[in-house]
Copies of this chain bind each other. A is one copy, B any other.
Amino acid sequence: MPDFPLDLTEHCISTQTLSSGVMLTVKCDQVRLPNGKVSQREYVVHPGAVLIVPVLPNGNVLLEKQFRYALHQVFIELPAGKIDANEETLTTGQRELLEETGYSAKEWIKLGAQHPCIGYSNEVIHMYLAMDLSQSAHQRDEDEFLELFDASFAECFTMIQNGKITDGKTIAALFLAEKYLQTHS
């Protein structure tokens, strides 16, 4: 790991809210750059999210197909959802897995965190591996539409390589989950 000899920090001078929708808050800060000049930085304020890699007893991964409006496209992705106020990330993971898929898991393993959009969002996604799954009924909101299916890790990696899985958070998490399972089996 190399050193950071230069101080690359940009310091906040002032902050203002550009827009505050039902879902998205966007801020614009005046910042002082490392060379002393002043510039602007705009970014989405996000509460953080939790993503789950649910592994079925046969070793397959449980995946979702979901329509994502921003891109007008159905995506294959891992279950994930936003952290509620004051919620522990493990609780978010357990809640989202149950709500979206109807599965609960006995074993939860933290895989780490990823930052999906460092250019213009402060979102962090905490990632968990969920093992020893058992099924009950899902508890999706009536306005939440998705389909479930499962695939082996090998099938997932083929879908990444042939462009059927392009969701960044899902690619990163599948990669980390497989590395974890390889090291700990």
Contacts and interface: CB of A to CB of B under 8 A. Distances in A.
Given A8-B74, A42-B23, A172-B172, A116 B113 contact: no
B69 A41 contact: yes
Contact of A22 (B40, B116, B160): B40
A38 to B, nearest CB: 10
A169 to B, nearest CB: 6
Interface stretch (A52-60, A91-99, A100-108, A145-153): A145-153
Contacts of A118: 68, 70-71, 75, 77, 167
Dominant SS at the A interface? Answer: mixed
A28 interface: yes
Contact of A9 (B18, B67, B123, B160): B67
Interface of A: 1-2, 4-6, 8-10, 18-19, 21-24, 26, 28-29, 31, 33-35, 37, 39-44, 65-72, 74-75, 77, 112-125, 142-143, 145-147, 149, 157, 159-161, 163-164, 166-169, 171-172, 175-176, 179
